[in-house]
Structure 1
Amino acid sequence: MGNRFPTGGKRVTIGDVAALAGVSKGTVSKFLGDGDYYIAEETRARIAAAVAELDFQPNAIAQGLVRRRTQTVGVIVASIANPVYPEMIAGIQAVLEERGFTLIIGSSEGRPEREAGIVRSMRQRQVDGIVMASVTMRDGEVAALVGDGLDVVLASRNLARGDLVDAVVVDNVAGARAAVEHLAGHGHTRIAHVAGPQDVVPFTQRRQAYCDAVSDAGLDADPDLVTVAEASTLEAGADAVRRLLALPEPPTAVFVGSDGMAIGALEHCARAGVVVPRDLAVVGFDNIWVGRMPGISLTTVDSHARDVGTRAAHRLLSRIEARWEGRSSPPPRPAAAETTVLPAELVVRGTCGCASDVPLRALAPSS
């Protein structure tokens, strides 16, 4: 007997499944949902067979409206063009897919109004939570999202107040200090710093750690050796190093607040005839894949982007489950916010003046 429910050119509905299984649409809906409903095993088997025969694909949006969960998570990054974020997203996605969640990605390009628009759009789509790797919003704005029932975890970002929202970060202070101390170990005394935008907490932490390390080592603390970039891009890094090299007494080494800016600095040096590391030693921060390539061999601090993404995703899912388990509406936030700090690791390659790559060296966490 032919299939009385042809699927070609016609969308299969829950009514089709119910008719083939010989049950009500309500029973099929309960079978497809995640509620604790009793359905006889023989009935379950008939419904499952009908779903398979018809290749029925449940409407995820409709199911989400019923359950008040959509099995979707938003991820907001500062710039999808920055190689550090695809690595982080890969870590997030691996965790979410294993748990049956779908990922929605937004790129703010460092613009507060765009980030706010992305958050609004994700909330309209009723995401179950957001991993934010781009935070231009003020502390109070992020706290308001959490207070309004949205689970949020920050990845490679943190707020000035650590008790507002969960965060997973690398030890920016220990990493920055290690970069400066390594350059000082090569005999450099005029070590410059290209800082990222100072409305981003990790960049402010790296800048302060640089200043402290310079002071502690008795190095030249000339304020002209610190330049703040408006964005953490190749172009911003190139322009910052151009200004540093134009000083009456230019630096002999530079610690750059991100690998993206560091690659831009290397590009400028190549165009200007500045030989790295002979004329200028360079250390970055992030350990993006571009810096690992032969011919670039960037000494850097590993920000553990994939591990940060993995841990942030696990933390967000634990928040979601704790908030929703056994309930049809969200209860108050279940526990105090936590900040997970991963140890910094210095990756020594060629741009600092070392002859060859060496294995990663774990650093003591900052106090």
Structure 2
Amino acid sequence: MVSLKTIAERCGVSTATVSKALNDHKDISEETKNRVKQTAQTLGYFPNAAARALKTNRSYNIGVLFEEEAGRGLTHEYFSGVLNGLKIQAEKLGYDITFINTCFENRKMSYYEHCRYRNFEGVVIVCANFDDPDVIELMNSEIPVVTIDYVHHNCTAVTSNNIQGMEDLVKYIYSQGHRKIAYIHGQEGSSVTRDRLASFYRTIDELGLEIPDTYVRTADYLETKGAAKQTRELLNLEAPPTCIIYPDDTSLIGGRNVIIEMGLRIPRDISVAGYDGTMISQLLYPKLTTIRQNTEIIGSEAATRLIGTIEKPRTTLVERVVIEGSLVPGQSVGAIQPKE
């Protein structure tokens, strides 16, 4: 590994001069600075991270909290897209990312304690139980925090436009002639669910539809069993819906399996729509009608906002940043003759 001494010998100056030149000290001439920096670049010099942290009291390291209950982890396309966007942008701005955990040397520690131990300069909460006291402690701490799809008074939040997305989806289904639209939504404690559910009811009201309470049900995000159970119950109603909206593209698969088991065909006998716009949604037959969330931009924007807070804390405001999604018409919502 190239050292300061190697650069100093090549340039014919002291190691102290090299250090000052690389750190843009004013008592070093521009000519010397340029010569030292050019030599360092030519030799492939990289500063020692530990030494830099000791000198500057900065780690240039961001913590990522990712606790996903469904057990899909990094294999889930939505979260992997968000994390990839976060990683690329953080690295572009000169930061590393490290996942937060609660165990060290067989000793339990809180998320906040782990962040202090690792000297994280900030944290992005990608997925977590926001009712967990440890998560609340972290969000209320002095450490800069940006949340994904969750709004907290002390943190900037980056969210997909779930309100507009649900409105676009319902209006598209309506345009295909459907008037009996069911909605299986995710966990009620989620801000994502609150936004989508309010938008669903608001859009239904705007369109002049009356949806029975039995058409609106709950199933966990990213989990197929609950969606399968609710689908079976919806289809066994005396007046079943003509279209079912699911919490996400993954949970929709549970409903799709039930539909096939019951000898029904999509979209001829029943139409379905998902949410997220994952790759698998377009690999299924028929291709799903869904809302594609711009996961890479969500992750990138989270990194940008967090690093802005770290580097310019006095000019930072707590904000809600909304990223637009887009309707993917697919083939799973069929056109029918509306019965007004």
Contact 2:110 2:134 in 1 (8 A): no
Corresponding residue for 1:84?
78
- The answer to whether residue 116 in structure 2 is matched with residue 126 in structure 1 is no
- The answer to whether residue 66 in structure 2 is matched with residue 66 in structure 1 is no
CA distance in 2 between partners of 1:171 and 1:48 (Å)? 45
Contact 1:206 1:257 in 2 (8 A): no
Which amino acid in the other structure matches residue 150 of structure 2? N
For the residue of structure 2 that corresponds to 1:349, the secondary structure is coil
CA distance in 1 between partners of 2:199 and 2:191 (Å)? 12
- TM-score, normalised via structure 2 length: 0.79
Q: Deviations over 1:119-148 (max 9, x none)?
A: 643442222222222242259976754664
For the residue of structure 2 that corresponds to 1:202, the secondary structure is helix
Contact 1:283 1:300 in 2 (8 A): yes
Aligned pair in 2 of structure 1 residues 92, 12: CA closer, same or farther (>3 Å)?
A: same
Corresponding residue for 1:151?
144
For the residue of structure 2 that corresponds to 1:282, the secondary structure is strand
Structure 2: gaps spanning 5 or more residues? 103-108
Corresponding residue for 1:103?
97
- Of 316, 339, 343 in structure 1, the residue corresponding to residue 320 of structure 2 is 339
In the TM superposition, residue 310 of structure 1 has moved relative to its aligned partner by 2.2
In the TM superposition, residue 298 of structure 1 has moved relative to its aligned partner by 1.0
In the TM superposition, residue 57 of structure 1 has moved relative to its aligned partner by 4.4
- TM-score, normalised via structure 1 length: 0.74
Structure 1: gaps spanning 5 or more residues? 1-10, 109-115, 324-332, 356-367
Which amino acid in the other structure matches residue 50 of structure 2? I
For the residue of structure 1 that corresponds to 2:74, the secondary structure is coil
Quote the sequence identity (%): 26
Calculate the aligned-residue CA RMSD, in Å.
Answer: 3.4
Contact 2:220 2:227 in 1 (8 A): no
Corresponding residue for 1:3?
none
For the residue of structure 2 that corresponds to 1:285, the secondary structure is coil
Aligned pair in 2 of structure 1 residues 55, 263: CA closer, same or farther (>3 Å)?
A: same
Corresponding residue for 1:178?
168
In the TM superposition, residue 87 of structure 1 has moved relative to its aligned partner by 1.8
For the residue of structure 2 that corresponds to 1:93, the secondary structure is helix
CA distance in 2 between partners of 1:61 and 1:198 (Å)? 45
Corresponding residue for 2:290?
300
Aligned pair in 2 of structure 1 residues 28, 195: CA closer, same or farther (>3 Å)?
A: same
CA distance in 2 between partners of 1:52 and 1:344 (Å)? 42
Aligned pair in 2 of structure 1 residues 107, 226: CA closer, same or farther (>3 Å)?
A: farther
CA distance in 2 between partners of 1:200 and 1:122 (Å)? 25
CA distance in 2 between partners of 1:107 and 1:263 (Å)? 31
Contact 1:179 1:301 in 2 (8 A): yes
For the residue of structure 2 that corresponds to 1:61, the secondary structure is helix
Contact 1:259 1:291 in 2 (8 A): yes
Aligned pair in 2 of structure 1 residues 205, 27: CA closer, same or farther (>3 Å)?
A: same
Contact 2:111 2:134 in 1 (8 A): no
- Of 224, 227, 231 in structure 2, the residue corresponding to residue 241 of structure 1 is 231
CA distance in 2 between partners of 1:204 and 1:130 (Å)? 25
Q: Deviations over 1:85-117 (max 9, x none)?
A: 222223223322222222224699xxxxxxx95
In the TM superposition, residue 322 of structure 1 has moved relative to its aligned partner by 0.6
